[in-house]
A and B are shown apart, each in its own frame.
Chain A
Amino acid sequence: MRRFLTGNQAVAEAVRLCRPGVVAAYPITPQTPIYEKLSEMEASGELSGIMMRTESEHSAMAACLSASLTGVRTFTATSSQGLALMHEMLHFASGGRTAVVMACVNRSLALPWAFWSDQTDSLSQRDTGWLQLYAEDNQEALDSIIQAFRIAEEVLLPCMVVTEANFISHFMEPVEVPDQEQVDSFLPPVSLPRRFDLDNPGYVGPVVDQVQYREFRALSQEAMTLSLEVARRVDRDFREVFGRGYGLIEAVEVEGAELVLVTTATITSTARHVLKKLKAQGRRIGLVKIRLFRPFPTAALRAVLDQAPRIAVIERNLSLGREGIFCSELKAALCHSPVRPQIQGYLAGIGGTDVTPEMIERIIGHALSRPEAGDEPIWIREE
């Protein structure tokens, strides 16, 4: 059914349709409406399972990962400080090979205090062993949650679906909310290992030696590599059932382009709009949207960017002392490309500022005007 929903509402609808066993959460702006909506659904009997209103995000993740080890489908949502507080538990959830699914609504990290979109909160969790999917709009947020449960439960790694403060969380868009039967046909009832088996008791999470630790890490890395293929297959299956799909990345008109923009999340929509206009003017500008950040889709990106002469990465996050995080990741991914592309990073939208079509045009002009890309990121500000 087509409904007019905020991104947060769309996420809550997706969670309801996935029939979770345990949801644990704690309020934080701008995620809170997800928590409230799920509470309403619980009160009306629409939401299955048990909701735990914990005293912190840290405990919410502790409860989710423990419930996941017990064998039930689990969900939580957070943002910013809440995600940072969870950090220790994120390592725990992935090391324990749980299938927790979380919505992270990107929000700037304090200090200074602010409430607007900035991807540094989720990107700071890069090395925790979570899969990360970045959504461009409300529909993709809803769809990605449903996909996330399938992927996480198959590879036994937790999955984060990342949306953006305000641009997704609080903006209303028409969203296709699937039927329960459709979701049930796509997402089977949970079938996770039940780690606390009374008839065959084991000890989950004991102390290991150096070699054992290394080998557990190797297994997790294997699962991460496998999840690239699983995520691709799940998205393909999703398209068959629902008629929509997203891929691990999306490439638009990259063939023969003089410049390819690389974006994530909502900046992508603005870039699409600009490129449409430029195409009408005969300009050959391509676009690559990165949807899956962990595991990083290196092969998929190389397949579309290996021949690109120039790349401009436009992003709303910053690793202080370096550059935008997607830019660093992309440079590393393309370092074996036969044609060494010129990759320039642009910091646009930091702090949740608007990234306007005019700014993107300015970035295109700048990238094409310079013979070589620089090592330092370029800040894009209002003129």
Chain B
Amino acid sequence: MEPLKSRPPEVMGSGHSACPGCGAALGMKLVLQALGPRAVVVVIPSCVSVIAGPYPFAAARVPMFHAAFEIAAPAAAGIANALKVQGVEDVPVLAFAGDGGTFDIGLQSLSGAADRNENIIYVCVDNEGYMNTGVQVSSATPRFTWTGTTPTGNTRRKKQIMEIMAAHRIPYAATATIAFPEDLAAKVRRAKELKGTRFIHLLSPCPTGWKTAEDASPKVAAAAVETNLFPLYEIEDGLKHTLTHRSQGLPVERYLSLQGRYAHLGPGEIEAVQAEVDRAWAELRRRAGEPDPQASR
């Protein structure tokens, strides 16, 4: 991966309404910096729309539309098609949506847009729950996680959104986190070069909901990657998988122990998480044509 040679101009202004240490705000900043100021951005009710600022303020120096919860994709597609009708084809339209707006309430409209291969970049800012409304479970919340609506731990497993998006055979889908900003920027730039529906799954630690220290978000995001819980990879045309980072393959406990939302976990549960991560990691390695996962542990 090419390191960044010079700092691109900031698209996010100083001052936003996120909680201290918010991973999503940092994620937005990095995505917009890589995308550049010549873009139209759709946000939906989520932490992202709070970060974008209350009237008459705006946190970003790009035209933005605060659309409704379940319409990030069709709203972006409507704008992209309208721009095309107006003869504007070199301005990317990017949608920021939370995990609730992507995995849950917006999944149908996202699927529709992906099926039509609408010319949009869709960034799911995943903080693994409804954090804007407090801390409630979503289908992006991992198993055993404490939330306000799963006080004894989530019994469901995290929905595999990347597989769902890959199944639509969209030109490009990638995972990214704030802990690897060069990797994130490269993926945004790659997405910008392509046409059609491009999807970025951005893991964004949430100090409030994950019960972590205010300065811990990058460290937590790095641990998610290095434990293989959230591998960094990309999928082209729904089939070609490429790992973009050699992980250290640390035990998942190194990630879980950083967060208060997992404080109640016993050894059995941690073992279950480890087993699940190992299985998923092996499968991803297989798809990426990498050697036996055990060899790297």
Contact = CB atoms under 8 A, between A and B. Distances in A.
Interface in B83-104: 83-86, 91
Contact of B79 (A67, A89, A205, A212): A67
Contacts of B67: 62, 66, 92, 205
B68 interface: yes
Given A92-B68, A198-B91, A201-B63, A70 B82 contact: yes
Interface stretch (B48-56, B139-147, B255-263, B272-280): B48-56
A261 interface: no
Contact of A70 (B60, B64, B86): B86
Contacts of A56: 108-109, 112
B213 interface: no
Contacts of B115: 55
Contacts of A71: 82, 86
Given A56-B108, A201-B62, A69 B68 contact: no
Interface stretch (A45-53, A175-183, A317-325): A45-53
B82 A208 contact: no
Contacts of B62: 198, 201
A126 to B, nearest CB: 20
Interface stretch (B70-78, B121-129, B156-164): B70-78
A129 B116 CA distance: 31
Contact of B75 (A55, A63, A203, A212): A63
B292 to A, nearest CB: 41
Contacts of A212: 55
Given A50-B85, A71-B82, A72-B82, A206 B74 contact: no
Q: Which of A52, A56, A197 has the most CB of B within 10 A?
A: A52
Interface in A144-202: 194-198, 201-202
Contact of A52 (B57, B58, B61, B116): B116
A217 B71 CA distance: 23
Interface string A264-307: 00000000000000000000000000000000000000000000
Q: Which of A67, A68, A194 has the most CB of B within 10 A?
A: A67
Query: Size class of A's contact patch?
Result: 35 or more
Contacts of B81: 22, 50, 52, 63, 67
B66 A66 contact: no
A125 interface: no
B84 A62 contact: no
A88 interface: yes
Contacts of B108: 55-56, 59
Given A196-B40, A202-B63, A66 B55 contact: no
Contacts of B189: none
Nearest to B72: A62
B154 interface: no
A207 interface: yes
B65 interface: yes
B70 to A, nearest CB: 7
A88 B68 contact: yes
A58 interface: yes
Interface residues of B, number: 45
Contacts of A24: 74, 78
A267 to B, nearest CB: 36
Contacts of B42: 66
A167 B289 CA distance: 62
Q: Which of A64, A194, A201, A212 has the most CB of B within 10 A?
A: A201
Contacts of A207: 49-50, 54-55, 66
B82 A67 contact: yes
Nearest to A204: B65
A65 interface: yes
B33 interface: no
Q: Which of A22, A24, A212 has the most CB of B within 10 A?
A: A22
Nearest to B49: A207
A54 interface: yes
Nearest to A200: B63
Contacts of A70: 78-79, 82-83, 86
A204 B64 contact: yes
Contacts of B58: 201-203, 206
Contacts of A196: 40, 63, 65, 79, 83
B242 interface: no
Given A49-B85, A204-B65, A63 B78 contact: yes
B247 interface: no
B111 interface: yes
A206 B38 contact: no
Interface string B32-54: 00000110101000000110111
B66 A206 contact: yes
Given A66-B82, A206-B55, A212-B55, A59 B68 contact: no
A309 interface: no
23 contacts: A53-B116, A55-B115, A58-B70, A59-B73, A59-B109, A62-B109, A63-B75, A65-B78, A66-B67, A66-B77, A67-B78, A70-B82, A92-B68, A195-B65, A201-B63, A203-B55, A205-B65, A206-B54, A206-B57, A206-B58, A207-B49, A207-B50, A208-B54
Interface of A: 21-22, 24, 49-50, 52-56, 58-60, 62-72, 74, 88-89, 92, 194-198, 201-209, 212
Given A63-B75, A65-B78, 17 more contacts: A55-B109, A59-B109, A60-B74, A62-B78, A63-B74, A63-B77, A65-B75, A66-B42, A70-B79, A72-B85, A92-B68, A198-B40, A202-B58, A206-B52, A206-B53, A206-B56, A208-B55
Query: Which 5 A-B pairs have CB atoms at the shortest separation, nearest pair first?
Result: A55-B112, A66-B78, A70-B82, A63-B78, A205-B66
